[in-house]
Amino acid sequence: MVVAEVEGGFLRVGSAGTFSTEIIPGQRVLIHGKRPIPGIAVKPPDHCLPPDRDEGYVPLGAFLVDTGLSPRQLQSQVRIGDPITFDRMPIHLGNGVVAGPALDNRAGLAALTLALQSLDRSGHAWDIVAAGLVQEEIGSLGARTSAHADPPTLALVIDTTYGRSHAEAEHRTFPLGGGPSNGWGPAVHPAIHEQLRLAAEHLEIPLTLEPMPWYSESDADVLQLAGGGVPTGCLFIPVRYMHSPVEMVDVEDIRRTGTLVAEFVRGLGEAASRFLEQG
């Protein structure tokens, strides 16, 4: 979130990403002003909310952040547009599961780091450019610019997908601990999709097919269109409670994804250029 308005000793907030407003009340937050300022996100009493709102819905602008500071102190430390983040540390749960904020897509960055560490210990024919791309949720702006700054021969996107919790549709969610999913749809090059499947089969890593009949809802949607077109693949790590401060991921799924990415890269060579042309 961001500071939208300083109203006396309170802050009004605006959106800087995608999340449900249902998770906001009672959350501890940090306002990144001239110094980090702790605060509590609160919902005013119902009779103080906009009268024309839909029943049960509270618009983001109705929430307040209370820091305990006086109006003068607050105005000297905070400006409109300062970021606000959820003040939560990750916690370890049972069976190797971790919960915390922004695991979408910290999980992908962790898997990429493991892949690079593995590749550093072994040979590979292709040059690798690893990127943590910003603003994926609001138009894949980082992907658009980076693909022009350093045009790739092929691209592999590591992101997250919806992890299955309780009684959710199996064709739309994926089990934690069941390994990553291999995206399949218009944004994905068939040859890369197949090479990922073969690499997972070779390593005996579970890999689930994830149909994406329209958009991939990832940076792949714009990377594949960069320049004259970029052959692109997608690996997704299951995460429960997406876009909340308590996203949940199985660490083993991160490890498997990193191992799979490294194996895919090691399999690239002169033959890869040919199968991309044929695919």
Say if residue 265 is in the same domain as residue 180. yes
Say if residue 180 is in the same domain as residue 165. yes
Specify the CATH number for the domain of residue 72.
2.40.30.40
pLDDT recorded at residue 106: 93
Longest dimension (CA), the chain: 68
Say if residue 229 is in the same domain as residue 255. yes
Say if residue 147 is in the same domain as residue 169. yes
Distance, in Å, from the CA atom of 249 to the CA atom of 104, rounded to the nearest integer, reads: 9
Q: Can you list the alpha helix ranges (DSSP code H) found in the chain?
A: 71-77, 103-120, 141-149, 190-203, 220-223, 251-266, 270-278
Token pair listed for 254 = 């991160």
Say if residue 63 is in the same domain as residue 178. no
Who has greater pLDDT, 137 or 40?
40
* Residue at which a domain ends, from 86, 102, 121: 86
* Residue at which a domain ends, from 86, 116, 144: 86
Q: What's the structural domain count of the chain?
A: 2
Range of the domain at 201: 91-278
Specify the CATH number for the domain of residue 98.
3.40.630.10
* Residue at which a domain ends, from 62, 86, 110: 86
- 112-121 pLDDT, tens per residue? 999 999 999 8
Distance, in Å, from the CA atom of 48 to the CA atom of 59, rounded to the nearest integer, reads: 12
Give pTM, 2 decimals: 0.86
- 38-87 pLDDT, tens per residue? 999 988 776 666 666 656 667 777 789 999 999 999 999 999 999 999 99
Distance, in Å, from the CA atom of 108 to the CA atom of 76, rounded to the nearest integer, reads: 38
Say if residue 149 is in the same domain as residue 252. yes
